[in-house]
Structure 1
Amino acid sequence: MSSTSAPDMNDPALQAFWRVLAGGGWSALTMRAVAAEAGITLAELRARFASPLEMLRAHAAAVDAAVIEGTMEDDTSTARDRLFDVLMRRLDMLQPNRAGVVRLMHDLPRDPFLALWLATEQPRTMRWMLEAAGLEATGPKGALRAHGLGVIWLATLRAWEKDESEDLSATMAALDRALDQADKAARSLGLGREETGRHGTHTDHEAPEAGSESGVEGGPRIDPETDAPAGTQPT
């Protein structure tokens, strides 16, 4: 893909990629099948994407850009609320390709290389989500925050995978609980309720009150001392 071209979530090739992945899984995915599904030649696809991994990276960048573009200034919101909003909007961007994303999640345990590759890509995305929420994402503190947010994102994805409701209420409750547990375990994400910032957001997503009943297990606790692996995320 050209380094000067902006990523586009509606790119026909990327949409075809997710449809092929949903139908046959990661192990059966080929660039020839993606090109055929997209209605372009293999040479045209190769001119833009070198591999399925590059297509995954391009889609993640497109989702990053869409979330950032939808961020609006709000000096009254807390950091916790902004993170909640940013991650829920990221899930909104994944909804159109839900079948493919869920299939990829199911395939990860059987492909250690893919899981490792995604684990190395995740911090970049999480840093952009921190930036969108108006939180520092550079240096050692930023790295710790990105790691912690990755844990929260993984827990939220697991809830989203099982959530078939139209309003994603179970997913929102799981995210809310994961943020609460992260805040209680460590202040590494800067989630103090008194904190406000310059890059808040306004969307239709509204965080449920802490402790609300949802029937969904909360996210894992974050321990900055052990720095346990945050896991992987598909995009």
Structure 2
Amino acid sequence: MPRQPRSKPDDATKLLAEAMGLIADEGWHRFSFSALSRRSGVPLDRVYAVFPCRHAILKTLGGKANEAMLASAVPDLLEQPAKDRLFELLMSRLDALKPYKDGVRALVAAARRDPVIGLTAACNAERTIAWVMDAAGLERRSLRGLATSRALGLVALQVGRVWLDDDADDLPKTMAELDKRLAQIERFPGWTLRAGEMPSPPVAEADEVPQAPVM
């Protein structure tokens, strides 16, 4: 008899929602997989199949947000100015994180005492920006592309702080902050988005495709 799969396709979605809810309610340091199993009704072995360690929760959260972001990268997106492309992509990512905002707040608070959270998020944020630039059709391998990448990383950090305190449904403060920050780096000498722009999206080679980010 063939072995049964240890997790179901919908386990990851369900467990992510329950895990972020548990983190919001109990905090990162009080989180346990046994509590997640009881809360979700998913057996502990299937919890392990989805989340073999606590930081796998961060990877799944980041992956879900980036899938939503990249789903917004429709062909018409490349016909827009670079600033508008980046705005659409980054806002789509934040929209996807809205259901988990209370849990994200708890993670940000826990990062002050758990440097592994901050380190994991920082390392994977760089890969997220690589995906953003790729989807937006921006060249990222030149010195100017690298400068734009670093600037976008700072933008994401600053906008994320505003997003955490922006509880309005349409996120007006977040959108205003993102628009302002993108306009700033577009004007900055040497870091202009136009300088790193390509006429068509870059095609990454198989071994150069950025890995799925954590957050």
Q: CA deviation at 1:15?
A: 0.9
The residue aligned with 2:16 is 14
Report if aligned partners of 2:124, 2:214 keep a CA contact under 8 Å in 1.
no
Query: What TM-score, normalized to structure 2?
Result: 0.80
The residue aligned with 1:110 is 113
Whole-angstrom CA distance in 1 between matches of 2:61 and 2:48: 16
User: Does 1:60 pair with 2:62?
Assistant: yes
Identity %: 31
The unaligned stretches of length 5 or more in structure 2 are 1-6, 202-212
Query: What TM-score, normalized to structure 1?
Result: 0.73
Whole-angstrom CA distance in 2 between matches of 1:41 and 1:16: 13
Residue 139 to residue 51, structure 1, CA distance change in 2 (3 Å)? farther
The residue identity in structure 1 corresponding to 2:134 is: E
Query: How large is the Cα RMSD of the aligned pairs?
Result: 2.8
Aligned residues: 196
The residue aligned with 1:120 is 123
Q: CA deviation at 1:198?
A: 4.8
**Relative to total residues, which structure has the larger helix share, 1 or 2?**
2
Whole-angstrom CA distance in 1 between matches of 2:148 and 2:44: 40
The one of 174, 178, 184 equivalent to 1:175 is: 178
Kindly report which structure 2 residues correspond to 1:1-235, keeping only aligned pairs within 5 A, or say none. 11-74=13-76, 75-138=78-141, 141-188=144-191, 190-192=192-194, 198=200, 235=215
Report if aligned partners of 1:80, 1:179 keep a CA contact under 8 Å in 2.
yes
Q: CA deviation at 1:164?
A: 2.1
User: 1:95-151: CA deviations, max 9, x gaps?
Assistant: 111111122122222222221221111111111111221212346555443322111
Q: CA deviation at 1:10?
A: 7.1
User: 1:33-92: CA deviations, max 9, x gaps?
Assistant: 222222111111112221111121122112212211221112431111100111111111
Residue 103 to residue 78, structure 1, CA distance change in 2 (3 Å)? same
